[in-house]
Structure 1
Amino acid sequence: MSRWVDAWYRGAGWLKVLIPLEWLYKSIVVRRRRAYMSGRKRAQRLPVPVIVVGNITLGGTGKSPLVAWLGRWLSEQGRRPGIVSRGYGGKAPHYPFQVGVEASVDQSGDEPLMLAQQTGLPVVVDPDRPRGAWALVEAGCDIVIADDGLQHLALGRDLELVVVDGQRGFGNARCLPAGPLREPLSRLGEVDAVIVNGEPAKTLPQPGYRMQLRPMHWRHLMDGVCYPIEKPPFSSSVHALAGIGHPSRFFTTLETLGLDIEKHPLADHHHFSAGDLRFDDELPVVMTAKDAVKCRPFAHRNCWVLDVEAHPESAFIDWLQTRLETLQSATREVSNG
């Protein structure tokens, strides 16, 4: 997969032979969306607001940190949020499946387990998103966050938030398989807000709110003890593992923090084994929080995690507060109607 991603983002010429397949893919995507918009297919609506957080590209954009931030922020506002996810990479014994903080990553998938641990909120995985979202409502949640749910149109939504990687943008701006886009770029004009992770390297087709991923602390993988980001509790030379959609962003962050890294990029959702953490030297091994949930069962004493948090700009927070108040007022009017 990495060969394809590299080709999409550097604009490899050989991808032009795939343009006929891109046209076919794009026509299917557009027809499907029109079917829901016209009412020929009906999305399931919940009695509580649904906020979808997604992206229109394959690969990492910083979506999961925004989901975690949103869940914590809503809790601070006095709401009872829950998170529904597909649970990619996991195979639960039943669905809907509620993810506890000690759940098996083989059952939940990596991102849902990470979100459960980071937020302490109810997290449900289910390939049937509406069914999973209903399970959250029945558990007492008064607002649902759909993680990576932009293209899952069967679940009705009140707000659509799209996260864009400012550094990588949209590659060659083509749809699959000729490019990284899940949907045409015109889709950005239909969502409620675009959130740009980091400084945009190029002018984006749709203005957006800014978001930064800030390193918070170093965490020892085996015992969970955290240390200040300014003082790494290990040598400055490390092995850096990243089985995420955009490994180079993680590597750049480590270098910015003063580490001399040996890079080990892996496929997104890589299935780790103990051998991935073993090297011929005794250098520390540093990884992302997403990879850590898979590596903890066989971690050794020199495994460390860099935890990061999303920090959206204040203008986005103000906008979100206003939109949620509007939704709440509309819900009250319907209830009293």
Structure 2
Amino acid sequence: MPKLHQIIEHHWQRPNPLLSFFLKPFSWVFARIAAKRRADFLSGRLKSEKLPVPVVVVGNIHAGGAGKTPVVSSLVSGLQRRGVKVGIISRGYGRKDKAVHVLGAQSTAAQAGDEPLLLYRQTAAPTAVGSRRAEAGRALLAAYPDLDMIVADDGLQHYALQRDVEIAVFPAADTARQDLDLMPNGGLREPLGRLNSVDAVVVGGGRAAADFRPSEHLFHSRVEAGQIYRFNDKSETADLGRLKNSSFAAVAGIAKPERFFNSLRDMGLNPAQTVALPDHADFSPADLPQAGAVIITEKDAVKLSPSAATENVWVLPICAIIEPDLADFVLGAAGISPRGNIGA
């Protein structure tokens, strides 16, 4: 029997008239609360802190699953290639340790959260997590005082931190929808009109509908899969021909696991078993299905201990390709000059 959150999330994608009748009043209340909170910060009635370096917020108005993390990774890597010393801050959703944490080589997902740890390992950018982003930013700058810029992973609605550039990631599949609504009747954290106030919108996973133009600066992002590698030996890549002829399993603990399974199918790989776990779900090798090979996402891979018995576990990396160039736009919007381009 489906759980309540599964019923609600299905309703967000395919609205049920009966559920809408009951949930719509709660969405009106949610909208009023969200609007008042934003107005209080913008008017100064609630305190908003400014950090001494430019802050770029990359977030979304959806309740997860918009493809934000690959966009952050791509943006940070693009800034690094231009010689910019950039750091990352995040709330660190799902972590067990609630204190501010500046990531290091021994950091775990329990300390940092899966997405920040993934970003740190992908980009090697200085990274800190904390429920109060300004506090995380101060800790990061104390550890790395030469940073030129900070990118806030998520936090579009975290108005206690002032930002110099706002970027919203929005799924292409929703650009033509007329039935989007705020939570709980829909999956939006803020009204669609919020996109009109951000500096740029990145449409993820396809092309935007022809009449979708909320911002003067519109970008498109597509995800490309890399080579599947063995979890405990990144230098060893998978033999796709052998995988195609084997009975393997695929496991994903992300907001929209079907995207991961479809990426495998696009590579000609058809898993004999698929396991969709809740987003940010914690697991160990003992929780994985019994199979000759198990393929997982990079976001899930950071939750496993490097010393775990994972000989049959393989990882599919992905990266976001953003057009036109988002890093160039951010530098211009933040008023920072690149310190040289060391290649794409």
Aligned to 1:217, the other structure's residue is in SS state coil
In structure 1, give the amino acid aligned to 2:235.
V
- Residue in structure 2 matched with residue 61 of structure 1 by the alignment: 66
After superposition, where does 1:44-83 map in structure 2 within 5 Å?
44-83=49-88
- Residue in structure 2 matched with residue 328 of structure 1 by the alignment: 336
2:78–2:327 contact (8 Å) kept in structure 1: no
- Residue in structure 2 matched with residue 333 of structure 1 by the alignment: none
- Residue in structure 1 matched with residue 284 of structure 2 by the alignment: 273
Identical counterparts, % of pairs:
38
Candidates 287, 294, 314, aligned match of 2:324: 314
Higher mean alpha-carbon deviation, 268-277 vs 123-132, is at 268-277
In structure 2, give the amino acid aligned to 1:95.
A
- Residue in structure 2 matched with residue 180 of structure 1 by the alignment: 187
> Are residue 148 (structure 1) and residue 154 (structure 2) matched?
yes
Q: Deviations over 1:201-223 (max 9, x none)?
A: 75546263111111122121122
1:11–1:171 contact (8 Å) kept in structure 2: no
After superposition, where does 1:164-243 map in structure 2 within 5 Å?
164-168=170-174, 172-200=179-207, 202=209, 204=212, 206=214, 208-227=218-237, 231-232=239-240, 234-236=242-244, 237-243=247-253
> Are residue 253 (structure 1) and residue 263 (structure 2) matched?
yes
TM-score using structure 2 length: 0.87
Q: Distance in 1 between matches of 2:236 and 2:85?
A: 28
Higher mean alpha-carbon deviation, 270-279 vs 51-60, is at 270-279
Q: Distance in 1 between matches of 2:32 and 2:62?
A: 17
- Give 1:158 shift: 0.4
Candidates 36, 39, 45, aligned match of 1:34: 39
Q: Distance in 2 between matches of 1:302 and 1:168?
A: 37
- Give 1:295 shift: 2.9
In structure 2, give the amino acid aligned to 1:260.
N
Aligned to 1:263, the other structure's residue is in SS state strand
Q: Deviations over 1:49-86 (max 9, x none)?
A: 00001010012111111111122221222111111111
- Give 1:233 shift: 7.2
In structure 1, give the amino acid aligned to 2:166.
E
Q: Are residues 234 and 150 of structure 1, via their aligned partners in 2, closer, same or farther at CA, if it must alter by over 3 Å? A: farther
TM-score using structure 1 length: 0.89
Higher mean alpha-carbon deviation, 139-148 vs 205-214, is at 205-214
Aligned to 1:224, the other structure's residue is in SS state strand
In structure 2, give the amino acid aligned to 1:210.
H
1:83–1:146 contact (8 Å) kept in structure 2: yes
2:219–2:324 contact (8 Å) kept in structure 1: no
Q: Distance in 2 between matches of 1:211 and 1:310?
A: 6
Q: Deviations over 1:10-62 (max 9, x none)?
A: 11223311111111111000001111111222311111100001010012111
In structure 2, give the amino acid aligned to 1:250.
F
In structure 1, give the amino acid aligned to 2:153.
D
> Are residue 4 (structure 1) and residue 8 (structure 2) matched?
yes
Q: Are residues 251 and 44 of structure 1, via their aligned partners in 2, closer, same or farther at CA, if it must alter by over 3 Å? A: same
RMSD after superposition: 2.1
Aligned to 1:73, the other structure's residue is in SS state helix
2:57–2:155 contact (8 Å) kept in structure 1: yes
Q: Distance in 1 between matches of 2:202 and 2:169?
A: 5
Higher mean alpha-carbon deviation, 2-11 vs 174-183, is at 2-11
In structure 2, give the amino acid aligned to 1:252.
N
1:52–1:160 contact (8 Å) kept in structure 2: yes
Q: Distance in 2 between matches of 1:226 and 1:33?
A: 49
1:159–1:192 contact (8 Å) kept in structure 2: yes
1:82–1:123 contact (8 Å) kept in structure 2: yes
Q: Distance in 2 between matches of 1:99 and 1:300?
A: 24
Q: Flag structure 1 segments of 5+ consecutive residues without an equivalent.
A: 330-337
1:51–1:158 contact (8 Å) kept in structure 2: yes
- Give 1:318 shift: 4.1
- Residue in structure 1 matched with residue 102 of structure 2 by the alignment: 98
Q: Are residues 110 and 315 of structure 1, via their aligned partners in 2, closer, same or farther at CA, if it must alter by over 3 Å? A: closer
1:65–1:309 contact (8 Å) kept in structure 2: yes
1:101–1:120 contact (8 Å) kept in structure 2: no
Higher mean alpha-carbon deviation, 162-171 vs 238-247, is at 162-171
